[in-house]
């Protein structure tokens, strides 16, 4: 995925989060997603984030590919998310994986959305 395209997506998501009243002053667990052709490569990528990530989950998808979800506690800023994504991509791509974006749960009226 091209960096310019990803930046457009991130800008749009962050703008919608702001419009929805997201609290950017706090740390949040931000989820980053990648897809791999097999379990072994997904596990190798996950292993690069021991101690750095709040949570790493690997699961098989319906199409037989393997999904990696990393959850990192951080500020939800364009620069912080972009910096982490660049490092994540540097780990994922050499293992034959592809980035599939990021997300964050937003609290609405005292509950998670």
DSSP string, 38-68: SHHHHHHHHHTTTTT-SEEEEEE-TTS-EEE
* Domain membership flag for residue 61: yes
User: What domain range includes position 76?
Assistant: 27-104
Is residue 52 in some structural domain?
yes
Q: Nearest Cα to 87, choosing from 56, 43, 52, 54?
A: 52
Q: Is the per-residue pLDDT at 42 higher than 60?
A: yes
CATH of residue 71: 3.30.70.970
Does residue 4 lie in a domain region?
no
Q: What's the whole-number mean pLDDT along residues 9-23? A: 86
The answer to whether position 109 is within a domain reads no
Q: Is residue 95 part of a domain?
A: yes
pTM: 0.81
Confirm whether 57 is domain-assigned. yes
Number of domains in the chain: 1
Of all residues in the chain, the percent with pLDDT exceeding 90 is: 55
Distance CA 77, CA 75 (A): 6
Residue 113 pairs in a beta bridge with none
11 domain-assigned: no
Residue 44 forms part of a structural domain: yes
């Amino acid at each position: 995925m091209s960096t310019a395209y990803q930046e457009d997506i991130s800008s749009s998501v962050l703008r919608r989060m702001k419009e929805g009243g997201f609290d950017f002053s706090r740390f949040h667990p931000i989820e980053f997603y990648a897809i791999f052709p097999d379990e072994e490569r997904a596990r190798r990528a996950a292993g690069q984030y021991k101690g750095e990530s709040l949570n790493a989950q690997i699961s098989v998808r319906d199409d037989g590919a393997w999904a990696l979800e990393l959850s990192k506690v951080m500020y939800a800023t364009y620069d912080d998310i972009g910096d982490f994504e660049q490092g994540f991509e540097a780990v994922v791509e050499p293992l034959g994986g592809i980035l599939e974006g990021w997300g964050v749960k937003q609290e609405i009226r005292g509950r998670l959305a």
